[in-house]
Structure 1
Amino acid sequence: MPSSLLDRQIGPFSVSAIGLGCMNLSHGYLPRPDAAAAERLLLHALDSGVTFFDTAALYGFGRNEELLGRTLMHRRREFTLASKCVLAEIDGKRGIDGSPQAIVRVLEHSLRRLRVDHIDLYYMHRLDPKVPLEESLGALVRAKEEGKIGAIGLSEMSAATIRRAHSMHPIAAVQTEYSPWTRNPEIAVLDACKELGIGFVAFSPLGRGLLAGNVGSQGVADGDIRADIPRFLPPHLAHNLALYERFQALAAEAGCTAAQLSLAWLLSKGGHIVPIPGTTNIAHLDEDLAALSLDLPDRLFADVDALFPAGAAAGARYSPAAQAQTGTETWPDEVLA
């Protein structure tokens, strides 16, 4: 495994070609690791050459940032740190507030929890439809001028919004769900990012665990955020697991795992793409990083494309409430509920 992990460029940052999405160490998926296991995984990732760690104020309502703060910041110069605002805790619940006042408040809390005075890459986690983009973006530009953040990113926004934001101030990165079974960025966002020189960060690159073989016919536990996502519920789940079995067969024929094939497929889609798989398991992390050492034929990636055309996955990729907060383009006739 190369020590550089085949670095790619995200805005001004040179980062490992596979980063680490830290959400499920504190939030979202079940079961969650205890604190000691989460700390071991983060340090193992850093020791293995991962130099891009992604968190957010939303994750565990600050607990994920606290975890990174106490675990990694003694080695702060070794990695690029990304976090997010706008989508965060409001009165004990998930909510959106893109007002400048809220962005300033959330950023200050994040800096304190992370034990830093500067966050390298800071995203608007979602677009707040009640607040003009100029106002939200203006708060981030001021934070950059004050030295509190290094670059600005956007998450789950449309190509039109990305272009508009970039015309006001350079956007370093756009983060959106992207995997073989979620290909919405191919509608317009990937091309916009490539044209504008914006890095693209692919979250949930393993289909929220299903494309890694981590979801069975029983579905997921109550309390897991996927329990509200139609793709993980009957009758859609059985269809999607059948797709996974065909995907896993392609991987086995190529001598790799399904998770590795998913990551290699993503990396083949463009040099400006950096996947950030999340895991709570060190063995799975090592498996993900080993995807960088694979030499897979283009015909295999074409087979993946053929297996997962637009609309191949059954069910919506978000719950109705979460979909309402998402700006990424949808396919014609895409099911959204």
Structure 2
Amino acid sequence: MWPFSSSSRLTVDPTEGDPTARALGQALARHDWTAADAVLRSIPDADDRAYLLDRASAVPDLWPALGSWVAAAPGDPLPLTVRGAYAIGWAWEARTAARAKYVSKERFQEFFRRLRLAEDDLDAAIALDPDDVTARSFLVLSARGRQVPKDEAAARFEAVVSRYPHHRFAHEHRLQYLCHKWFGSDEEMFAFARTASAAAPAGNLLGALIPDAHVERSMEASAGDYWASPAVADELRAAAARSVFHASFTRRPGWVWAMNLFAYAFSMTGDRQAAAACFDALGDRVTEYPWTYDTVLARPEKAYAKHRQRATSAG
């Protein structure tokens, strides 16, 4: 069993313990564009690059400085992609994670302004390299914030998966767009999650779309004792068997996101053995989502520690 830290020492690490994400974040924080460029170009996989740029959004106050990198490399899509990806996180910082009814008009105006800046950069990067999957994947994320019509959001997603069929980052944010709380419905969300996870190779991270969809559904006010359903438990076990519990599963970038989703979902269904296996793999790698959905302990570290203790305790 992993030597777990006490709940008081648990923290949400923006890099999720990934050394490459940490190296990129450090390079960006000191405005070392040469080092940041080298890190990103050493990662040819577009999904892995999206993961790294998503993690780098936690670097504070980076937006103004990135302009110097863009200016120093005219015609290079990479700095534009980095700045565009960063600006989406910067936009959500202005909006906050609060429900829309609690967000002021001024915050929304700044949110949309920053998203426009983000999409300008991402569009410019794509114009320079039409097959740039990484830039396109962040347009899937920004579609939700920009409130683009359904056909446009679907086209953005298709532009990614036509080039990279099992792109985890794009699928994750497409599912969020299809949630009832955004622009879809429970039926659309589950149909998407089930189709995508079934089409993915065994051991693929897209299996985590299943617990992701169940987590979102469980937060509906009419859900009741949602997690007590045997059908939910059965679907979760089947999804895990084909993804994070499969012999082909590897700890590639994004695995911490997937394993946290399964850990939370198994804990909520009361499947202590499956939850314990997830916690054992994770150790202290706690993510904010979905643990902030624990309405009793909104702090993700405390919620994670509570659920882990319940799953791994004897008896």
TM-score (norm 1): 0.34
More strand as a share of residues:
1
Higher relative contact order (CA 8 A, sep 6+): 1
More helix as a share of residues:
2
TM-score (norm 2): 0.35
